[in-house]
Amino acid sequence: MTSWVGRSATEITSAVREKRATPREVVAEHLARIERLDARVGAFRRVRAKEALAEAEELAARDDLAELPLAGVPVAVKDNLAVRGEATRNGTAATADVPADDDHVTVARLRAAGAVVVGVTNVPELCVFGTTEGVHGTARNPWDTTRTAGGSSGGSAAAVAAGLVPIALGNDGMGSLRIPAANCGLIGLKPGHGVIPAGIGHGDWFGMSENGPLATTVEDARLMFSVLAGIEPVRPTGKAARKIAVSVRSPFPGVTISRPYAVAARDAAAVLTEAGNRLRRADPPYPFWLGTTSLAHWTAGTAVDAEDLDLRRLSRRTRVHATIGRRTVGSVRKGVRREQLRRRMEPFFAEHDVLLTPALARRSPAAAPWHERGWLRNVLVNTNYSPMTPPWNLTGWPAMSVPFGTLPGGAPCAVQLVGRPGSELDLLEVAAQLEAGRPWRRTAPLD
């Protein structure tokens, strides 16, 4: 009997559409793997076993099954996006345990494409931090379960890396897709502003948060991106000879890039040169105020999301984060610094098609009760391991994490690709060149 666990979404949907597999058997196999392994990984807050099997049966009866781009593909959804019939807890005890009446638009698009939602994934409280733990569970990196999966889309990334689902939905406000994707050896694409519907929290963190795919292959990421963006599935153009800047400089003064991540970026540059691109070493003109601006936006987003909640039910680190953010909400709303950053970066991206950087500065922190530790300690740990992602939320431009190489302990390493507005498909093509030149292992060896 063919096993569909560990297969790509593209393989699964082809089999279902051609009636070589049924949606129910595909979903049932993934649910069995979740039951067997998720206690070690902590990806899911809620597994929809009964509901998913029923939805798979309904899907099989659809007249248009052979036309659905994600027919029968199990998918996981981050717990800050509404799933019909499920509560949206956002990683906290301060939210109501009340089922949503309707799907978030991105969830609705996945369902309309034939995907089956098998569960809702763990996040840190209010999706604030780059580690995933709290009252609903701890998401661990399947490649090294002593380490966090990252955050805030940590549960979604852990689910894909563990082979519990082939693809998952997450979102990114300061790196929340790219950070866990980098930790867990996945493609994580943060689209540019307005490409995929957002609707995350109260105002999308002032327009910085974007929904996007987590996948193990570039082909799957491209397929899921097209569904989420509401566009026809696209094929690679084969365009080469892009002008690519390589930078291993941290955007934040005083934060250094560890050797494994710097080496990964340089080695990736060599692969892309061999693929026919024009590479040169060039650092973006990061302004001296980028660190303080990032902190102001990060905390202000939390302040807005916490406005309607009982603060007594939030962890201390979240309360402090929100309290600090209330002082900067007014200035952040004006968007002056974000516009200044865009203007500063535009000449650089007029000269270069793509920026290649390390995805992280160092390996992920331990899987520990960070929600019980102090605010400053959390901020310092997050900043020191993930300084590379925030600039591109502030500009609103597309950026993605791509697996590349391994860390000394054997866990995945990763690089980041950044492009100008509207370049999501170009970034995916560059990622495909990296995938072809240095293929990565797709699923963590948990069995």
Domain map of the chain by residue range? 9-292+314-437
Strands 187-190 and 399-406: antiparallel
Inter-residue contact 76 to 155 (CB < 8 Å): yes
CA distance 84 to 340: 40
Strands 140-141 and 144-148: antiparallel
User: What pLDDT score does 234 carry?
Assistant: 77
Q: Residue 19 corresponds to which tokens in the numbers above?
A: 């009636």
Sheet containing 44-47: order of strands: 44-47, 116-121, 74-78, 167-172, 210-215, 187-190, 399-406, 412-419, 354-358, 243-246, 278-281
Tens-binned pLDDT, residue by residue, of the chain (447 aa): 579 999 999 999 999 999 999 999 999 999 999 999 999 999 999 999 999 999 999 999 999 999 999 999 999 999 999 999 999 999 999 999 999 999 999 999 999 999 999 999 999 999 999 999 999 999 999 999 999 999 999 999 999 999 999 999 999 999 999 999 999 999 999 999 999 999 999 999 999 999 999 999 999 999 999 999 999 887 777 766 899 999 999 999 999 999 999 999 999 999 999 999 999 999 999 999 999 999 999 999 999 999 999 999 999 999 999 999 999 999 999 999 999 999 999 999 999 999 999 999 999 999 999 999 999 999 999 999 999 999 999 999 999 999 999 999 999 999 999 999 999 999 999 999 999 999 999 999 998
Bond from prior residue into 152 cis (ω within 30 degrees of 0): yes
Q: Which of 152, 364, 386, 423 is catalytic?
A: 152
Inter-residue contact 321 to 302 (CB < 8 Å): yes
What lies within 8 Å, CB to CB, of 251 at 6+ separation is: 284, 286, 290, 291, 387, 388, 390, 391
User: What pLDDT score does 235 carry?
Assistant: 76
Q: Which of 176, 250, 294, 315 is catalytic?
A: 176
Phi and psi torsions of 117, nearest 5°:
-80, 110
Q: pTM of the entire structure?
A: 0.98
CA distance 70 to 91: 28
The reply to whether 50 belongs to the active site is: no
CATH of domain 9-292+314-437: 3.90.1300.10
The reply to whether 386 belongs to the active site is: no
Q: Which of 78, 209, 226, 364 is catalytic?
A: 78
CA distance 411 to 406: 6
Sign of the CA dihedral with 360 first, then 361, 364, and 369 last: negative
User: What pLDDT score does 239 carry?
Assistant: 67
Instruction: State whether residue 317 is helix, strand or coil.
Output: helix
The reply to whether 247 belongs to the active site is: no
